[in-house]
Structure 1
Amino acid sequence: MSFSSDLKTELSEIYVHAAHCRIAELSALTSLLGKYSDENIIIKSEKEQCIAKISRLIRKTFDNSEKMMYTSICSGQNVIKIEKSLANEMISTLKLSIKGEEIYSDDQVFEKTCCKRAFIRGAFLAVGSISSPEKKHHFEMDYSDDLRAEQIIKIIKVFDIYPKVVVRRNSYVVYLKDGDEIANILSVIEAPNALMTFENFRIVKDIRNSINREVNCETANISKIAGASVKQIEDIEFIDKLKGRDFLTDSLREVADIRVENPLLSLKELGEMMNPPIGKSGVNHRLRRISILADKLREEL
């Protein structure tokens, strides 16, 4: 199973005790997965776990719902048909409004902070997905129109999380890409197992990235040292060939001898091998003087 499926399974198994939170979550699920037809509400989802939770919430919230609610499978989708009397009661209790076949949740249904959490949880169960934290950070909810997208953005912002929206193939995708914000939204919808998994992968990824940065930095330093060393040794060997090593002063000859014998050492390490030891800047100064001498000899030639 994917990380997204595991998250939805976790959310579908959450038992909501407070009636007002059950109503908020069921309102989100009904408005996003339901259609109003011939005074009935038809709810469809490919996810059996999602339909099971909707059925459970309806039975817990409405009396005698078993006699007015029918579950079936049609064209690979799980379907709940809610008959007229129960549909009317749900519209009133869940603060739903009808526009043609479309069903919308009114803002009154999530006035409390806990109800906002439940509403976001229901919305994600209905139209949400999240990528595996092994690959990248991406959390999204796919809405059919801008009204629903604007509504969920407004609710999520209450928790100091600021999603963006993009239009993709006639749908409005509300998404998060920042790892901290995704961790926060998982906490908001009360998914501790998914949050722990997500954070563990983030820690591993951060450690791996830190190691890669250090390796890349070390590699760059080695390349830089090697490049400078090649030029320095070329200058020393040029002077050797033309004038001999004794052409150099004692201090320059000492650093030249050590550099030729240790082509991969840094300037600091070269300085520690001198007698007496000198600092990095001192070594650099002497090697520059050798380079200047070599360039003058080249000019004379």
Structure 2
Amino acid sequence: MRQIVNTSIGGYEVLEVQEVPDLEPDSNEIIINVKASGLNFADILARKGQYPDGPSKPCVMGYEVSGVVDSVGDQVDDKWLDKEVVATTRFKGQAEQVAVREAQLFEKPDRLSFKEAAALPVNYLTAHILIQVMGSLGSYESILIHNVGGGVGIAALDIAKHIGATTYGTSSKRKHKFLTERGLDYAIDYRNKDWYEELMELTDGKGVELITDPLGGKEWKRSYKALRATGRLGMFGISSASEGTTGGIGAMWSMLKMVVQMPFFHPLSLLEKNRGVFGVNLGHLWHEPEKAKIWMNDILKGVEDGWVNPHVDATFSFDNVGEAHQYIEERKNIGKVILTP
């Protein structure tokens, strides 16, 4: 089989498609022939050496796949054989075959293509935890979704609209028409305007009850400042750390600069302002498979009911993985970017 290998830290040239032997299942494993793999911003950070949870190089990244079950171990129910499935993967998802445990596996919804199904796990699980599990967004409340045009952003918009909350979102101007048609109430052009000032003007200086923020650094300070009383800030990424870097010393310096700019949330300040802050890291939830299964089943129910609609913006072959990384880094995508063998 073929797989995408991060051979070292660096630019797009460090990504190679390599041939390795086909997988054989252990007694409790399931082998999937992959039809589509998700590409996420964490993959970009890992390539640049800015993702502390990433495996040592050389490595194969990838957290989500869809495909068809090829074989199962002798301790696994053979009902899974030949089924169309979607699965979470702890790395190694960007390959023609993956090995997973049964707890990581779900039947693919019939109404979704393989590409759409591969857009579900990371984006929608992250958004679900941010908004429903930890953010507790109510229908009478409002939410600011940073990078609303990205994969997690679109997922967050689907969920917030289903709840009935008022939605604000930051994105480049060219994405506004799509996002408005998708249901976004207020689009903010963060590139040409100050998003904080725009949000304050739109909310008559009150702010919003929930903010989902993947930016990091000093933007977390501004997001916290934009919270209304009883507001919550959900932090789930540091995407701005990668801007203008290709890896190595430059990437490490950018990361250090961002860490220095990060705010410290003192308990007394939280008490005085009636605000809350929390973080979401999907990669640190592998020890909670029971919860993850409940959350994923909630998302799949949303697919069945018609309000979860993953949007695949672009598809790249494994051989063009460098172009896929560049596409995301240049913020061209609206929704999900998918890799196919």
Specify the TM-score bucket, using the shorter chain as the normaliser.
under 0.3
When Rg is computed on C-alpha atoms for both structures, the one with the higher figure is 1
Structure with a larger share of its residues in helix: 1
TM-score by length of 1: 0.21
TM-score by length of 2: 0.20
